Structure 1
Amino acid sequence: MGIFDKAKDLAGQHSDQVDGLVDKGGDMVDERTGGKFAGQVDQGQDFVKGQYREGEVPPADVPPADAPPAEAPPADAPPAP
């Protein structure tokens, strides 16, 4: 068992405490970005929480960790038909 497996097991055993830390980190990001990325931060929080909770599956709208980031169209691009 590697160090990351041990960390994941410990986080799962103390999920209520880790949830608070994940929420606090997300709140700090929201505060520093003025809430500009609140949706993405919430998705990230849900994904992280799903990683250490036993048997819990992250929401379907959260992309896999190895997925490339979604690209936004240029600001001056015409709307898609």
Structure 2
Amino acid sequence: MGLLSSKNIAKAKALAEKNKEKIASGVNKATDVIDQKTGGKHADKLKKVDEAAKKYAGGTQASGDAPEAGADGPDDSGDTTTS
């Protein structure tokens, strides 16, 4: 039985499913360190990696990004009526 057996792959997938937030957090920390060490040279690529990890974890907003529209800002929907 090798390292990449179907049994081991199934176990890895199950663990990844249970720990999505931890994986996203670890990826975010790693990309921050890489960005710092490279002086921002690969920031665009690292941002995509962060976003993909956050999306996998079920979120839509990577940490450190601006808040989503409507979170604390004005409503840009064009509706001028008040409740």
TM-score computed with the length of structure 2 as normaliser: 0.49
Q: Which residue of 2 aligns with 1:17?
A: 22
Q: Which residue of 1 aligns with 2:42?
A: 37
Task: Rate the CA distance shift 1:6–1:49 in 2: closer, same or farther, 3 A.
Answer: farther
Q: C-alpha deviations, 1:35-60, integer Å up to 9, x for none?
A: 1111101212333555x658xxxxxx
Report how many residues are paired.
Answer: 54
> Which secondary structure does the structure 2 equivalent of 1:6 belong to?
helix
Identity %: 30
Unaligned runs of 5+ in 2: 1-5, 59-83
Which structure has the bigger radius of gyration? 2
Task: Provide the rounded CA distance (Å) in 2 between the counterparts of 1:8 and 1:53.
Answer: 13
TM-score computed with the length of structure 1 as normaliser: 0.50
The CA RMSD over aligned residues, in Å, is 2.5
> Any residues of structure 2 matched to 1:1-81 within 5 Å, and which?
1-48=6-53, 53=57
Give the Å deviation of 1:4. Answer: 2.9
Contact 2:23 2:53 in 1 (8 A): no
Q: Whose relative contact order is higher, 1 or 2, with alpha carbons under 8 Å and at least 6 apart?
A: 1
> Which secondary structure does the structure 2 equivalent of 1:2 belong to?
helix
